[in-house]
């Protein structure tokens, strides 16, 4: 089976896990933001 065909026929659970992993990666953005803001508050207050 070609790679692209394999991608298309991937089971739903595997896709869901991939989606969840992506969401977890993206959650880094607000965590990073909050950490930055806490550091800046300490520096400038």
Partner 1 sequence: MIHRVRPDDWRLVFGYTGRVVIGFSALYLLPLATSLLAGEWSPAVDFLLGLGLALLVGIALLLVGASTARPAWIHGMVAAAVSWLVVMLLAAIPYILSGHFLSYLDACFDAMSGFTTTGLALIQDLDHVSLGLNMWRHVLTFVGGQGVVVLALAFLVNDPSGGYTLYVGEGKDERLFPSDIHTAKAIWRISMGYLLVGTAALFAAGIAIGQSPAQAFLHGLWMFMSSWSTGGFAPMSQNMLYYHSALYETLTMVFFVLGSLNFALHGAMWSGDRREIRKNLEVSTLAASLAVLVLVACAGLMRAGVYPDAMALFRKGFYLMVSGHTTTGLMNIYARQFALEWGDTAILAMIVAMLIGGSACSTAGGFKGLRVGLVAKALVRETRRIMAPSSAVIEQPYWYHGKKILDDAVLRNALMVIVLYTITFAATSLAGTAAGFPFLDAVFEAASVTGNVGLSIGVTTAAMPAFLKLTDIAVMWMGRLEFMAVIALVGFAAKSLRRK
**45 by DSSP, 3-state: which?**
coil
Q: What residues have CB less than 8 Å from 9, skipping those under 6 apart?
A: 1
Question: Is there binding between residue 4 and partner 1 (CB under 8 A)?
Answer: yes
Q: State the minimum distance, in angstroms, from the CB of residue 12 to partner 1.
A: 10
Question: Is there binding between residue 26 and partner 1 (CB under 8 A)?
Answer: yes
Interface contacts to partner 1, rule CB under 8 A: 4, 6-8, 10, 14-15, 17-19, 21-23, 25-27, 29-30, 32-34, 36-38, 40-41, 43-44
């Amino acid at each position: 089976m070609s790679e692209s065909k394999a991608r298309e026929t991937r089971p739903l659970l595997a896709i869901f896990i991939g989606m969840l992993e992506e969401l977890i990666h993206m959650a880094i953005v607000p965590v990073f933001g909050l950490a930055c803001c806490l550091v800046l508050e300490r520096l400038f207050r």
